[in-house]
Amino acid sequence: MSVDTPAKVIPAARKITTKPRVSDQIFRGVVTTFSFSALVILSLIALFLLLQGFSTLREQGFGFITHFEWSVATDDSGKEVAHFGLQAMLVGTVVISFIALIIAVPLAVLTALFLTFYAPTSIKRILVTLIDLMAAFPSILYGLWGYFVLMPMAVYWAKLINHWFGWIYIFGVPQPIFTRSPFIAGIVLSVMIIPIITSVSREVFSQTPLDRIQAAYALGATKWGMIRAVVLPFGSGGIVGGSMLGLGRAFGETVAVFSVLNIVFRSNFQILFTQGGNVASMIIQKFGEAGKTEINALIAAGLVLFILTLLVNFAATFIVTKTVKSGR
């Protein structure tokens, strides 16, 4: 290029357009409509919960989350006096879900490792089908199983734990009643969330780059050593993401928990004792005999649960995508 050329004229970027065919435009319209319908439905549900629950939220204010009484009474002047507080239910929901995670995560991760790295193809196929079936199982059946089969056994385990570890606060009980406790509800929930955690972990484990696996083996690693050095660091995001998805399900689970938990409006951290809380189950329990004011309160409780679940799911999605992108 010569030196004395006049200042270069850089053209404005061209606008690149294409004219799609009509058939393509129609298809585009159809898929766009359907994909947005999910968003619309979700928004409408949120709107409904907000509108119906708003009166309660306004009346109870922040106490709706921090108080734990739940009562509607009529005073001498005939005016309705309502106290609605979700604290015990929220605490209970978190406690039960946490118990479920503690049991489910190790089991699910070990299962996923077995399926990905140890199981022969035939066994793998059968197990994957069964585990997927576990996820599709109706929750009332888990509830019935929990009540009739698991509970008698779990009461025995609870007594054992209480006998040996009762000196730790959370394993103590004010009275020796061990049925329908957060512990039992947690076990039932753990069984329900194992499939989702297993399948997400398995998916991530199976994407472990082969060259890293080979690198570990070529350095004289045992299979377990390879898994610890390569697969678990790579898959940790998937484990966390899967657990969060499981947590999302655990938060919202209603029927199964309802069958095996004694719902009491008092925050209880003694997990072996027959007293617990769960927002979703509480809504079911109160719904049948609730008056208008209480119905609004229950819907507001639903809104709180909705937001909680949404937050957990967002966090899960965020963690999973971030992990997949970074490839670690």
Partner 1 sequence: MSDQTQNTPTSSLSAVAANRAETKVPGSSPLGTGLEARGVHAWFDKHLALEDVSLDFSAGTVTALIGPSGCGKSTFIRTLNRMHEFIPHTSMAGQVLLDGKDIYEPGIDVTKIRLQIGMVFQKPNPFPSMTIGENVLSGIKLAQLKIDNRDELLEECLTRAGLWAEVKDRLGAHAGGLSGGQQQRLCIARALAVKPKVLLMDEPCSALDPGSTLRIEETISQLSKSMTIVIVTHNMQQAARVSDYTAFFLSDGGPGQMIEVGPTNEIFSRPRDQRTENYVTGRFG
Cα–Cα distance between 282 and 298 in angstroms, integer? 9
For the bound state, the minimum distance from the C-beta of residue 228 to partner 1, rounded and expressed in Å, comes to 8
Distance CA 324, CA 99 (A): 28
Angle of helix 87-113 relative to helix 182-205, nearest 10 degrees, comes to 40
319 near partner 1, rule: CB under 8 A: no
Q: Which stretch binds partner 1 (CB under 8 A): 41-49, 228-236, 248-256, 268-276?
A: 228-236
Q: State whether residue 233 is helix, strand or coil.
A: helix
What is the per-residue binding string for partner 1 in 8-37, x denoting contact by CB under 8 A?
Answer: ------------------------------
The reply on whether position 291 binds partner 1 by CB under 8 A is no
CB atoms within 10 A of CB 56: 22
- Minimum CB–partner distance for residue 208 and partner 1 (Å): 11
Residue 328 in contact with partner 1, rule: CB under 8 A: yes
Could you say whether residue 239 binds partner 1 (CB under 8 A)? no
d(CA 248, CA 264): 23
200-219 footprint of partner 1 as x/- string (CB under 8 A): ---------x-xxxxxxxxx
Long-range contacts from 204-210, C-beta under 8 angstroms, 24+ separation? 204/234, 204/235, 204/237, 204/238, 204/239, 204/241, 204/242, 204/323, 204/324, 205/112, 205/113, 205/116, 205/117, 205/231, 205/234, 205/235, 205/238, 206/116, 207/234, 208/234, 208/235, 209/234, 209/327
The least CB distance from residue 221 to partner 1, in Å, is 4
- Choice between 211 and 289, CB closer to partner 1: 211
Binding window for partner 1 (CB under 8 A); candidates: 18-26, 185-193, 227-235, 243-251 = 227-235
Residue placing its CB nearer to partner 1 in the complex, 152 or 225 = 225
Contact between 222 and partner 1 (CB under 8 A)? yes
- Give the contacts of 37 (CB within 8 A, at least 6 positions apart): none
Binder to partner 1 among 220, 288, 289, 325 (CB under 8 A)? 220
Tell me: does residue 125 bind partner 1 (CB under 8 A): no
Residues that bind partner 1 (CB under 8 A): 209, 211-222, 225-226, 229-230, 233-234, 327-328
